[in-house]
Amino acid sequence: DADVTQTPRNRITKTGKRIMLECSQTKGHDRMYWYRQDPGLGLRLIYYSFDVKDINKGEISDGYSVSRQAQAKFSLSLESAIPNQTALYFCATSALHEGARSRELFFGEGSRLTVL
Amino acid sequence: DQQVKQNSPSLSVQEGRISILNCDYTNSMFDYFLWYKKYPAEGPTFLISISSIKDKNEDGRFTVFLNKSAKHLSLHIVPSQPGDSAVYFCAATFNTDKLIFGTGTRLQVFP
């Protein structure tokens, strides 16, 4: 079983619909992140959370919201989806303290979202 | 403002030869750099990293070089293998904060 699980893996929706992408992890990490990948733009940070009560905006948070329901769960919501939010979305986790590897991110397999 | 840049979107290398992937950054406060590898339909996976206090780190066929004065790092893969064909992202961070990723370079290793 994957350590970082994203659901759904694929979703097609229409403009204006509300969409939630969910992420759960079994690594016991405190830190969780949502990134989106677009061709030619790489991975861009949407939101991140360093613990259950800590939520921070990333580079491109407009149009998105997040909820950290528990240490192991971090969901991303698109309140009113628009076509330019069509992308591949990744959840990731990291540990606060693991020595030199503390900055390493562990990614889920991705959620492909298409907004028509 | 792109703080981490990978100016080559793609690279094609013959099996057995060296692959060199480049990355430039603008923020001199970055203190740790990482390379990630991504296969289709999978999430990125960690490959190798380097602290800003070092100029080289080696792990098997993979070596990362850091030139702080030029704000440049590179990943060398020797010898290249077909299984190395993937998208490679460099990333940088400051003081264990969030990672900032580059745009990625697609490496293709052909026989």
Contacts of A90 in chain B (CB under 8 A): 43-44
Contact A91, A33 (CB under 8 A): yes
**Mapping DSSP to helix (H, G, I), strand (E, B) and coil, where does residue B68 land?**
coil
Reported as a single tens digit per residue, the pLDDT across A46-61 is: 999 998 999 999 989 9
Contact B21, B107 (CB under 8 A): yes
Query: B49 and A41 in contact by Cβ < 8 A?
Result: no
d(CA A107, CA A104): 10
Contact B56, B63 (CB under 8 A): yes
Beta strands in B1-111 (DSSP E): 4-5, 10-14, 19-25, 32-38, 45-51, 56-59, 62-67, 72-77, 86-93, 100-101, 105-110
Does residue B45 belong to the interface with chain A, where contact is any CB pair within 8 Å?
Answer: yes
At A95 the pLDDT is 80
Among the partner-chain residues B9, B46, B103, the one whose CB lies closest to the CB of A104 is B46
Reported as a single tens digit per residue, the pLDDT across B29-47 is: 999 999 999 999 899 999 9
